[in-house]
Amino acid sequence: MDIETFTQKFESYSGLVLVFFIAVHLAGIFFAGINPDNFETYASNLHSNIFLPYFEIVLASTFLIHIFLTLKKVLKNRSSGNKAIIKTRRNDYLGVLASKIQPLTGIILASFLIIHILQLRFPRPIDNLELTFLKNKLEGGHILVLYSLASVSLFFHMVQGIESGHRSLGILNQSNSLNIRYISRFISTFIGISYLVMTFYLRFR
């Protein structure tokens, strides 16, 4: 395997790992909405887990590797004038739009993540007051706009990313391409809408 193929596969794996994290994170947020008391106990236990710092280092590295490799690919495609994907998707308006705005949705998500982590990780909420802390941090129209923008960007970013990730890994072929497209769009819609709804639910409940 040449270095370019390896890099492309690595970028796809990093994206798929992040989709997994985003799904687990959403499950935690649902839990917070459905059963706040048990969620506080679970969050306090999680924070005292000795493996958590290692998990956070792996997660932060995955985000950084994903951003670095994606930027590298975008710059390379720009310099070689690559329009192949757009051409083969002429009637797929959502796919074309998601692909066109992918650099923008990536920038929005990266900016959101910096603010989100500065708000909720440094410092970490005090034990048993995680949801009060979160509610306070979500105050202010500009923060709600930021979280809403991030949810919409996440939807578009995942529509493009999950499908192109499967293509780069060589999993996508003529017989399964439509199934992969529909399933990835279903997952992206569910995750995007859920983050949007939960932001407002946790803020105003």
Residues that bind ligand HEM (CB under 6 A): 22, 25, 29, 43, 56, 109, 113, 116-117, 120-121, 124-125, 130, 134, 147, 150, 154, 195, 198-199, 202
In the complex, the smallest distance separating the C-beta of residue 125 from ligand HEM, rounded to whole angstroms, is 6
Nearest CA-CA partner of 167 in 119, 99, 116: 99
Please, which residue, 121 or 205, has the CB nearer to ligand HEM? 121
In the complex, the smallest distance separating the C-beta of residue 82 from ligand HEM, rounded to whole angstroms, is 27
Distance of CA 176 to the CA centre of its chain: 24
Residue 129 corresponds to which tokens in the numbers above? 């007051």
Reported residue count of the chain is: 205
Please, which residue, 63 or 92, has the CB nearer to ligand HEM? 63
Region of 81 please: left (phi>0), alpha (psi -120 to 50) or beta: left
Please, which residue, 125 or 165, has the CB nearer to ligand HEM? 125
Please, which residue, 116 or 167, has the CB nearer to ligand HEM? 116
- What lies within 8 Å, CB to CB, of 72 at 6+ separation is 7
Please, which residue, 10 or 201, has the CB nearer to ligand HEM? 201
Please, which residue, 58 or 86, has the CB nearer to ligand HEM? 58
